[in-house]
Amino acid sequence: MKQKIAIIALVAVIVLTSAVVETSIQFSNAKQTQGVANLSRLDEFFIAATKEPANGTSVLLITIDTLRPDHLGMYGYNRQTSPKMDALAKTAAVYTKAYATAPLTTPSIVSMLTGYHPNRHGVRLLWQPIESDTVTVADHLHRAGYQTAAIVSNIVLGNEACKLGDRFDHYDEAVDEPEPNRPHMLERRASRTTDAAVQWLERHRQADRPFFLWVHYIDPHGPYTPPSDSPMDFAHDKPIPISEEKIAEYVREPGLTDGAEYVDRYDEEIAYTDREVGRLVAAFDALELSMPPLTLLTSDHGENMMEGHAYFSHGYDVNDAVIRIPLIARHPSIAVGMNDRLVSISDIAPTILDIVGLPVPTGLDGFSLTVPSGAITIYAEGLDSGGSGGLHRTLIDAHTKTVIRHGRSNIPRESWAFDLLRDPHQKDRIATGNFSATYRALAAMIRSDPDPGGRPTHLANHEHSHGPVAGNADSKATRALRALGYIE
């Protein structure tokens, strides 16, 4: 309770400043300039602040790779892609303005598990390990006596790639199924992911301990190859001819230039994953737990359909197609229903800590979803598809989305904004006004970033570093990353 009051008080102080956005970002920058190494102080905080045990609430966290919210029934989609997730949503809070911190799996997932934005936790690329002194929510829960487990199905989340496995008691990263169209591309389909998660719940969970289980599904990541037993077979009424050159190479089917067919297959993969999520949630809900559990469902990022610099892809820029995500939270302390509060994937770690009764470290970028008001602005970054070697960065508030593009010098090159009230689909760029508080705050963040162009200094000139991928992947991993579209 004291922690909640402290956060509310902090928000009130920020609101009372004359330049709300700028002040909040300057606070973040002040922490940021101390460097990632100072995050190790959270260890001392934890030891000092957790004399009392957590309250015993168990947690299920589900992440679904490359999932757009506007392709789910709960968000108004007209296809039956998500009946199981829709059923969960009816008993939970559904956030309509939720964002990833990056359109790449690893940076966004690390934000989810730490409560920090990428410029503060330091993970900006795929195959870039988390620093050993960066504390995750799994570390906090483990030290509080929780049993921790993760079942992941994307090669970039393997322990060799990101070192997240070292933070869990049990880390299942069995990515070993040849993808139907590309035998060299290994994955683990949703059915086997659910099998592994249910097996852990039924055979390895210790009934006398609370637990934290994180399950990450690779479906519906491209290439879109729904299995033969997918519960839905969608058919479109009218073809949408598109140029083959606009289709991301790793998704492209030879001779297939009907964009609507790619959308059908993407939706079929969602429907297949939805069925498996339903199995997992049913197994979780069947457990006899001493405390009402917390269930969270989200995505690491979205996916371009026929948008962006390459159709049916992600990883670049900060368009809503790739940074907008679904977020569902079910717990008695969170009101059921649609919620239009601005939220970030970085809110998940503080939410978990808050609900299980552990202190939320001060200075996180995220806020617990139980706190009446959270962030004033939401931050996200994505690699510049224009080839500058830099980033697009955005701050989003209730009315405006401000974007700055920069190169490796971390000096703003171009900027624009969208009026979200007048132009919710962000069709018309407007001038940012270089003297606006939001622009100045974002520009200051960029200039103070220790990573040139958002690329960690020790990787900036690595001869084996490709695009969004750090340079320490071996040849087998490189082949898989190429099949996933991360390396040309």
Q: Are 370 and 354 in contact (CB under 8 A)?
A: yes
This prediction's pTM: 0.87
pLDDT in the model for residue 72: 98
Using CA atoms, how far apart are residues 466 and 125, in angstroms rounded to an integer? 10
Tokens 């993760």 sit on residue: 150
pLDDT in the model for residue 176: 81
pLDDT in the model for residue 133: 93
Please choose, from the candidates 314, 307, 315, the residue with its C-alpha nearest in 3D space to the C-alpha of residue 246.
Answer: 307
3-state secondary structure of 412: strand
φ, ψ of residue 381 to 5 degrees: the values are: -140, 150
pLDDT in the model for residue 186: 72
Class of the CATH domain delimited by 2-483: alpha beta
Compute the 3-state secondary structure of the chain and give helix, strand, coil in percent, each to the nearest 5: 35, 20, 45
Whole-angstrom CA distances from 298 to 62, 109, 327, 397 are 6, 10, 5, 21
φ, ψ of residue 337 to 5 degrees: the values are: 130, 175
How many CA atoms are closer than 13 Å to the CA of 70, on its beta-carbon side?
13
Using CA atoms, how far apart are residues 343 and 96, in angstroms rounded to an integer? 9
Tokens 């970002």 sit on residue: 25
Tokens 């717990």 sit on residue: 331
* Beta strands 327-330 and 170-172, pairing class: unpaired
Q: Would you list the domain boundaries of the chain?
A: 2-483
Q: Are 403 and 488 in contact (CB under 8 A)?
A: no
Q: Which residues of the chain have pLDDT under 50?
A: 1-42, 48-51, 462-466
pLDDT in the model for residue 14: 33
Q: Are 257 and 241 in contact (CB under 8 A)?
A: yes
* Beta strands 147-151 and 170-172, pairing class: parallel
